Chain A
Amino acid sequence: AQSVSQHNHHVILSEAASLELGCNYSYGGTVNLFWYVQYPGQHLQLLLKYFSGDPLVKGIKGFEAEFIKSKFSFNLRKPSVQWSDTAEYFCAVSSGGGADGLTFGKGTHLIIQP
């Protein structure tokens, strides 16, 4: 069975600080990796995804993530956060076939202080 671990449940940063949210997964085979974001009062939406190819993927709103296969990690980064980045962030993995759905981590609640 797959599992996803997000290291920090709550993160508080000041505007313009750099962000890195950790995500590790356990699954030995081919994986697809995702970061989803949920802004206050809104639905879950996709930030970025990795299927294959370049392990450094860029998403919306200046976010990027790096897939490190040897470390089973897919950390999310942003060089300079804004107050509008305050949200819940979820890392998720699928085995690629699609029929088993996404396995999500517990989420990281990010608060950006102005």
Chain B
Amino acid sequence: ETGVTQSPTHLIKTRGQQVTLRCSSQSGHNTVSWYQQALGQGPQFIFQYYREEENGRGNFPPRFSGLQFPNYSSELNVNALELDDSALYLCASRRERGLNTGELFFGEGSRLTVL
């Protein structure tokens, strides 16, 4: 158990809809990042939030957006869903911004199916 909790665990949406996924980071962790893991692939970095600001982003379009709240919890929003957005979405938290200062703790993920 990492202390990183995600909700919902599973959801089904249709193409064109919007979705919000939520993450509660481990106590004391101020940095949250989101990853997309398609079936049979490794996780792909979407973006990272540090102290409520996005400070890093992978190769994902602007319809993927996020928020981090003062309690360091986070949301991932995806607009105009496409079939290829079907994946497991992973949230990860750590104590500091830099990857060389702390281990990344992952949640169990939210599995999104787009029909």
Contact = CB atoms under 8 A, between A and B. Distances in A.
A94 to B, nearest CB: 5
A101 B33 contact: yes
Given A43-B106, A43-B109, A106 B40 contact: yes
Interface string B55-74: 11010000000000000000
A106 B109 CA distance: 17
A94 B44 CA distance: 12
Interface of A is mostly: loop
Interface residues of B, number: 29
Interface string A93-113: 010111111111111000000
A45 B103 CA distance: 9
Interface in A42-96: 42-46, 49, 51, 90, 92, 94, 96
Chain A interface residue count: which class?
20 to 34
Interface of B is mostly: loop
A107 B111 CA distance: 18
Contacts, number: 68
Nearest to B44: A104
A4 interface: yes
Contact of A101 (B4, B35, B100, B107): B35
Given A43-B2, A44-B90, A99-B48, A94 B43 contact: no
A44 B103 contact: no
A90 B104 contact: no
A44 B106 contact: yes
Interface of B: 2, 4, 33, 35, 40-48, 55-56, 58, 90, 92, 97-101, 103-104, 106-109
